[in-house]
Amino acid sequence: MAFRKRREALRSILSGSACIRPGSVYDATSIRIAEDLGFELGMFGGSVASLAVLGDPDIALITLTELAEQVRRMSRASDLPVLVDADHGYGNALNVRRTVQELEAAGVAGLTIEDTLLPQAFGVTGPQLIPLEEGIGKMKAALDGRGDPALVIMGRTGTRGGGAQASGFDDCLARARAYDTTGVDALFFTGLTTRRELDAIAAVTTLPIVLGNTQGELDDTAFLASRRVKIALQGHAPFAAATQAVYETLKALREGGSPKSLKGLASPELTGRVMRRAETEARAGEFLGLKK
């Protein structure tokens, strides 16, 4: 299958002994840069998906179609395996099944399905969770929707995500055990803050573990690897950096600056490498008879 190699690469990460830090990617250019820099994995987060496609905050406004189309653009541009945040699967368990089918066809190496109630309920501040039984149903539906057995499906719980409606750590452990039994390939956790919490999670499941941002005493990849954490995210600084750079450039031009006076622009060499100019020119020469 066309994307099998990428999925097998992600499975190798999950079965390996190291903890890797993925590169945050959000479009064809960023994924090519991450690939050229040697990242083993790209992470397409829900927040940057909403920002890149809609310019909106991460409040479940982006649709499955919009997400899948952006993934297709990245899959075409690069062979880098990508793990996609598929949020709640865009509905109930049957919608989750459809989500897996669409993202698999778009070329993802893996995806996460979470147990957060989305979109936000009326009159309630802070995140809410769906019942455990519903979460189990979503994980089972995700697995049932998988056509390529190499596709990685991760169960994600928001039990430690913070907010007034987040549940306690006992619920986090219970959900980890329950999602483990469904057959998902890994478990994804956000909001962990202590080594003691990670030790407890590692004790109740044998699955590979993926963590959101790791800070404080969890900001130690050697320790994380010793507790079966295979992937640890670093946030989405590339999108923030790109936003700041575009802002400063447009501001300078609006204020009368000359394009020649601008600083921090990509060189023609870097731009040509990112757009794969050499490969395109070679094809133009072979197929169109065009010579440089």
Cross-strand pairs, 111 = 84, 153
Q: Do residue 289 and residue 201 come from a single domain?
A: no
Q: What share of the chain is helix, strand, coil (3-state, %, to 5)?
A: 50, 10, 40
Question: Is residue 32 situated within a structural domain?
Answer: yes
Any residues with CB less than 8 A from the CB of 212 and at least 6 apart, and which?
Answer: 188, 189, 190, 191, 192, 233
CA 292 to CA 285: how far, in whole Å? 8
pTM, rounded to two decimals: 0.95
| CB distance 149 to 120 below 8 Å | no
Host domain of residue 288? 262-292
The rounded distance, in Å, linking the Cα atoms of 280 and 285 is 9
In the chain, the number of structural domains is: 2
pLDDT of residue 82 exceeding 50: yes
pLDDT tens for 13-69 read: 999 999 999 999 999 999 999 999 999 999 999 999 999 999 999 999 999 999 999
Contact 114, 91 (CB under 8 A): no
Residue with tokens 């919009």: 66
DSSP secondary structure letter of residue 112: E
For residues 194 and 80, membership in a common domain is answered with yes
Residue 165 banded pLDDT, cuts 50, 70, 90: very low
Average pLDDT, the chain: 95
Q: How confident is the model at residue 243 (pLDDT cuts 50, 70, 90)?
A: very high
User: 71 with 129, same domain?
Assistant: yes
* Residue 174 Cα to chain centre, angstroms: 24
Residue 164: pLDDT band (50, 70, 90) is very low
pLDDT reported for residue 2: 82
Same domain, residue pair 76 and 183: yes
In this structure, the answer to whether residues 266 and 230 fall within a common structural domain is no
Residues 180 and 276 in one domain: no
Contact between residue 24 and residue 52 where contact means Cβ atoms under 8 Å apart: no
- Burial classification of residue 254, based on how many CB atoms lie within 10 Å of its CB (0-12 exposed, 13-18 middle, 19 or more buried): exposed
For 153, list phi and psi in degrees, rounded to 5. -120, 125
**Do 208 and 165 sit in the same domain of this protein?**
yes
Mark whether 37 and 164 lie in a shared domain.
yes
Q: Are residues 216 and 288 in the same domain?
A: no
Which amino acid, 250?
A: L
Q: With contact defined as beta carbons under 8 Å apart, do 184 and 143 qualify?
A: yes
Assigned domain for 46 exists: yes
What does the pLDDT read at residue 126? 79
Q: Which of 92, 115, 71, 84 is nearest to 10 (CA)?
A: 84
Contacts 24+ apart (CB under 8 A), 12-16: 13/40, 13/41, 13/230, 13/231, 14/152, 14/185, 14/186, 14/208, 14/230, 14/231, 15/208, 16/230
Tokens of 186: 């890994």
Question: For position 161, what pLDDT does the model report?
Answer: 63
**Pairing between β-strand 23-24 and β-strand 42-44 as defined by DSSP bridges:** parallel
pLDDT tens profile 110-119: 999 999 999 9
What's the rounded Cα separation, in Å, for the pair 41 and 133? 32
